Structure 1
Amino acid sequence: MSAFRDAVAAATQGTPYCVVTTQKGFDVQLDIVNAQWWDLYNRAGLRKSFRWRVTERKSSFTITDRQINVAWRGGVPGFGATMEVQGGRIFSFSRQKIWAISDHGRVQPVVDYRFNSREGRDLIRLVARQQGLKERQPLILQLTAAFILVTPIFFAGYGIIRLFLWIAGIQN
């Protein structure tokens, strides 16, 4: 256990998030099995769960987002035989508000749910700043950024070479 993990766990108290220890750090995830939250998730029709994988180092950390499809069976969350997982940096926002006859027999909002994938990252970053830790980008994001930067340069270079060969009369 680390002080960083413990501080994040303390910050999630009373929220729909929980902290799970991993080999290289910890995960912050939606607490879909907690009875306090499962009714809201079920009524909102939650189909995707988010997990923020935190890898700790001495004075830094990385956050990798993971999105997992969730299947609901009889109001109880369960993971199906097939699972779709996305990783990297995921930007997701959803909001759902449903008015219907409530359990009390009145027309009122029975679902008022919003989700922003930044919430988990922001919670982790806030605690990290308090601990004096610096965020580093995960390797997958560094590779993606490098690919995005190199691709136009590669194609521009290819076009310049083709133009040079055409001017020199070597290629049509």
Structure 2
Amino acid sequence: MSKSKALTMKRLGRSMKYQYVKLLRSPGGAKKVAMGFAIGFGLEFMVISTAMLVYIIFYPLVRVARGSMPAAIIGHVIGKLTFLPIPMLGLGKCLGDLILPFHIHMPAWLPGWLEGFLNVQLKTLIGMTLISTALGILTYPIVYYLYEANRKRRAEKLARKLLQVQDNGQ
């Protein structure tokens, strides 16, 4: 690896660590971070079924819920990396069929194949909305707990370090 590449990797690592520390020290603390992560993770499950139109409401939804935007992006990326939304499409369609068991009739000027396609899409969207809401609700307490545990661990580490400095100074 060349020297410039190694330096770039070191800078990237430092930048990521800095962003992580900023996230831990963000005003609003655990609630803000957990809310942002839950929204980002949950909305990832709606990306495929909405043909990526969910990105239009991503930023406003995080801001209205007073979540952390960096945490929402991290949650969204983690949801994307798990590849869970793809196999969940079938489950979303089944849930949509349970909630909307009848066929919705579209305007007469639409071709028959498009009417069937739109019905399937609507049912999948309804099911994926439920899945995304459930997963967002489930991830909130998990991220809240992990955030608080990490904050306490860092505070204890700082207290030990300060105690060690005081013992060495006297």
Q: What TM-score, normalized to structure 2?
A: 0.26
Between Structure 1 and Structure 2, which shows a larger proportion of helix residues? 2
Q: What TM-score, normalized to structure 1?
A: 0.26
Between Structure 1 and Structure 2, which shows a larger proportion of strand residues? 1
Higher relative contact order (CA 8 A, sep 6+): 2
